[in-house]
Amino acid sequence: MYSDHQNFQTNIPSPLLPLTIFLAALLISFSLPAHAWSDFKLSDINHDLKIRDRFEIWNGYNKKAYGKDSINSSGKKQGESNDNFIIQRAVFGFSWEGKYWAWRFDMYDSRAWGTSLKTEDFIKNKGTDQEYVMDPYREYFEPYELYIALKGLGTEESRLILGRQIIGFGDNRIFGPGATTNSVGWLWDAARYSLRYQENFLDLWYGQTKRQDPDSLSLFSKHEYQGVGVYGQWKFKRLMTLNPFFSWKYGRYYNNNKKEDSYYFGARAFRTSENGFVYDITLARKTGRFIVRHDANLDINAQAYVLKLGWFFKDIMFSPKIMLGRVYASGDSDPDDGTVKTFTRPFGTTDGGHYGIMDLMSWSNMVDNHVDFRFEPWVGYNLRMAFHDFHLDKKADKWAYFGYKVAANRYDHIGNELDIILKCHPVKWLRIMAFYGHFWSGDFVRRNDIAHNDADRMVLQLFFEF
């Protein structure tokens, strides 16, 4: 049913892929006719600096283990439950844009002070010859965006983008960088063609995603995933905006020798309005297989959806907006039947409040029923309050974010979460965000003896842009 990617490799060695793409872009740009260079002036080069400082207080859990004893899903103590720390991310670089082409060169650096979790705590496939690092807190002096774009290919707004780039669309749930923590989750070394006409577009690309390893430069290290992406947008006046998508995802080293060869199909439809009815619906299906060895593969058959309905009262005091929602991702009721029914995201973010601001959940084996209120108490201030009710879709499957799994299969209520988030933009160069989240642990956590405590998270974030 599926083409055999078992021995699939790009002809270009993975560590050389970003350099190869960028050098190809340089060759193409130098082959442009002379008039394409006529508008290039050194004085038109832009430079920018963005610094984000965040102060975090975690109580009752950390990013690798839930509970005051910090016992992870493998039964070992990992970090401390009262994990209080400071993180900082700086992005700095240069860019230029002309009539026929453009380029950007940005570096970024992310640091963490005080966290009980070290880089060693984020090693995947530890103890094997396929181990690699995905550290969400630290990454030192990495290329953030490093590309050349050729403009006007098809329409005036269309472009071909070659090199290191951020690829994100819509709410970043399907394709998105995942940058809310500290280091950036999905950064692509890719070739992307973006066909655009007014508010409509169709983007197609092939590329590979980099690791998050502070001790190695990603330009010279292997890339864990390669993939193809397609994402489009068609606006139907005020009725709907439609975003169809497709993705192929191939993971070289996934879950101790299992290689992922998966396909995603689906669409997002939403309506935004300054006043009145709003909605946001995403449907996604995952197929393909996990390659275990030449004579034993596991088929994939999973699905997920997002359903949000609400109303925006623009003309009422504080301009309130209320949304009722349900987020679903399938789990696997029988892990031994040869078919994987657990949904996992393609190349989208898991953080940033999609599944609660405390980052206890990911879009896998979950049901999230929630209500979301948003207000504008003062001009330039936005207050959001949300309540989530989290359950497992299938009791026989695991709590995806932490990996806890219970043999008894008796309970599915993970817990409830309350989020309070305040954002403001007091001056042009400064944005402030503060939030508090409280989690009441449910029967799956308490009665299965994973832990017997609730949890809290407090954050103050300052974002400077120059």
- Looking up tokens 């090199």 gives 163
Whether residue 260 has pLDDT greater than 80? yes
Nearest residue to 352 via CA among 54, 50, 48 = 54
pLDDT value of residue 31: 60
Which pLDDT tens digit goes with each residue over 108-129? 999 999 999 999 999 887 777 7
Which pLDDT tens digit goes with each residue over 399-416? 999 999 987 778 999 999
pLDDT value of residue 216: 85
64 or 5: which carries more pLDDT confidence? 64
- Return the sign of the alpha-carbon dihedral for residues 250, 255, 258, 264: negative
Region of poorest pLDDT, from 263-267, 273-277, 298-302, 379-383:
273-277
pLDDT tier, 13 (very low <50, low <70, confident <90, very high otherwise): very low
Average pLDDT over residues 146-151: 92
Cα–Cα distance, 148 to 161 (Å, whole number): 6
Whether residue 14 has pLDDT greater than 70? no
pLDDT value of residue 222: 76
Region of poorest pLDDT, from 259-273, 290-304, 364-378, 447-461:
290-304
pLDDT value of residue 296: 73
Region of poorest pLDDT, from 117-131, 336-350, 420-434:
117-131
Residues 6+ apart with CB under 8 A from 207: 21, 167, 188, 189, 190, 191, 192, 226, 227
Q: Percentage of the chain surpassing pLDDT 70? A: 89
Which pLDDT tens digit goes with each residue over 227-240? 999 999 999 988 89
pLDDT value of residue 137: 94
Nearest residue to 62 via CA among 136, 124, 142 = 136
Cα–Cα distance, 369 to 391 (Å, whole number): 9
Which pLDDT tens digit goes with each residue over 40-76? 677 688 999 999 999 999 999 999 999 999 999 999 9
326 or 41: which carries more pLDDT confidence? 326
Nearest residue to 392 via CA among 417, 376, 409, 379 = 409
Whether residue 7 has pLDDT greater than 50? no
Which pLDDT tens digit goes with each residue over 277-323? 999 999 999 999 988 866 678 899 999 999 999 998 877 888 899 99
Strands 84-97 and 381-391: unpaired
Domains of the chain, earliest start first: 14-458 (2.40.160.100)
Cα–Cα distance, 173 to 305 (Å, whole number): 11
Residue 426 token pair:
């007091």
pLDDT value of residue 252: 65
pLDDT tier, 8 (very low <50, low <70, confident <90, very high otherwise): very low
b/e per residue, 49-65, with b = 16+ CB within 10 A? ebebebebebbbbbbbb
Mean pLDDT for the chain overall: 88
The 3-state secondary structure of the chain reads CCCCCCCCCCCCCHHHHHHHHHHHHHHHHHCCCHHHHCCCCHHHCEEEEEEEEEEEEEECECCCCECCCCECCCCCECCCCECEEEEEEEEEEEEEECCCEEEEEEEEEEEEECCCCCHHHHEECCCCCCCEEECCCCEEEEEEEEEEEEECCCCCCCEEEEEEECCCCCCCCCECCCCCCCCCCCCEEEEEEEEEECCEEEEEEEEEECCECCCCCHHHCCCCEEEEEEEEEEEECCCEEEEEEEEEEEEEEECCCEEEEEEEEEEEEEECCCCEEEEEEEEEEEEEEEEEECCEEEEEEEEEEEEEEEEECCCCCCCCEEEEEEEEECCCCCCCCCEECCCCCCECCCCCEECECCCCCCCCCEEEEEEEEEECCCCCEEEEEEEEEEECCCCCCCECCCCECCCCCCCCEEEEEEEEEEEEEEECCEEEEEEEEEEEECHHHHCCCCCCCCEEEEEEEEEEEC
Whether residue 15 has pLDDT greater than 90? no
Average pLDDT over residues 252-269: 81
Whether residue 361 has pLDDT greater than 60? yes
Predicted structure pTM score? 0.89
